[in-house]
Amino acid sequence: MQTTATRVAAVPVTLRGVDRVFGSGDAAHVVLSGVDLDVPAGEVVALLGASGCGKSTLLRLVAGLDRPSAGEVNIDGARVDGIEPRAAVVFQEPRLLPWRTLAENVAFGLPSGGSRETRRAHVAHALDTVGLAPFAGYRPRAVSGGMAQRTALARALVRRPGVLLLDEPFAALDALTRLRMQDLVDDLQRTSGATVLLVTHDVDEALQLADRVVVLAPHPDRAAGAGIAHMLDVPGARPRDRADPVLAALRVELLDRLGVPRHRPHPA
């Protein structure tokens, strides 16, 4: 699988005092409250937390698909106000147009402008990057779930985003395909240099891909809403050995933070 990618101008992401409240009055539902986060250019940050703690909401705020109720989100020092052109999102489902070929689906990610030849070259390069060049003319129904998700990744990469936002992109894949996709994303990030925010429920995935893990959880001292409960730097350069005992120890720590108890063997 080809993983050569053109390096991009990675940019930092900052959140200051970010709240997100849905509804109003008695029907108000506070999802995020007082979130402060700095993501340096080129860093990979994994967001962990229980369902409903605002991980995907935070990602949507960075992408400009939603707006904070309070506070602000900045990319490279400029406030996010509407759809952010320097960011690209890969969702849990590929969200491909079934009547279009894989190449045509990738082309939807291209910014406007440029000659037809140049656009075709960019699409071909993006498909080659994720190992799908031979399948450019196939339609989504003719390829596997993993190939469809690689197409979605190519559609994001063709934009050459400074910030790549991954919202549980491997959750629907089988275990082996998921591991291969993790390795692909790791390779692509290291060669492209993009800043990455990854939402996941998988502790092992977070430790494999991220430079830092951020745990979101309800505030113990606030009436409602989640915030950053813990941050963990992951030591060692990527790609990492999945059998590294250091990662195993960090896994236990993160599971403890997430409220997952350890099960020790019963005495004989």
Domains in the chain and their CATH numbers? 1-86+161-262 (3.40.50.300), 98-160 (no CATH)
> Which pLDDT does position 4 carry in this prediction?
46
Q: How far is CA 252 from the centre of its chain?
A: 23
Mean pLDDT by 10 residues, the chain (268 residues): 62 97 85 96 96 94 96 96 92 94 94 85 94 96 95 93 94 91 93 94 95 92 83 93 92 89 67
The answer to whether residues 138 and 169 touch, using CB atoms and an 8 Å cutoff, is: no
Put the strands of the sheet holding 163-167 in their side by side order: 78-79, 70-75, 13-22, 29-39, 226-233, 212-218, 44-48, 195-199, 163-167, 87-90
pTM, two decimals, is 0.91
3-state secondary structure 169-229: CCCCCCHHHHHHHHHHHHHHHHHHCCEEEEECCCHHHHHHHCCEEEEEEECCCCCCCEEEE
Q: Mind listing the pLDDT tens digit for each residue in 180-206?
A: 999 999 999 998 899 999 999 999 999
pLDDT score, position 164: 96
pLDDT tens digits along 20-57: 999 887 778 899 999 999 999 999 999 999 988 999 99
233: three-class secondary structure by DSSP = strand
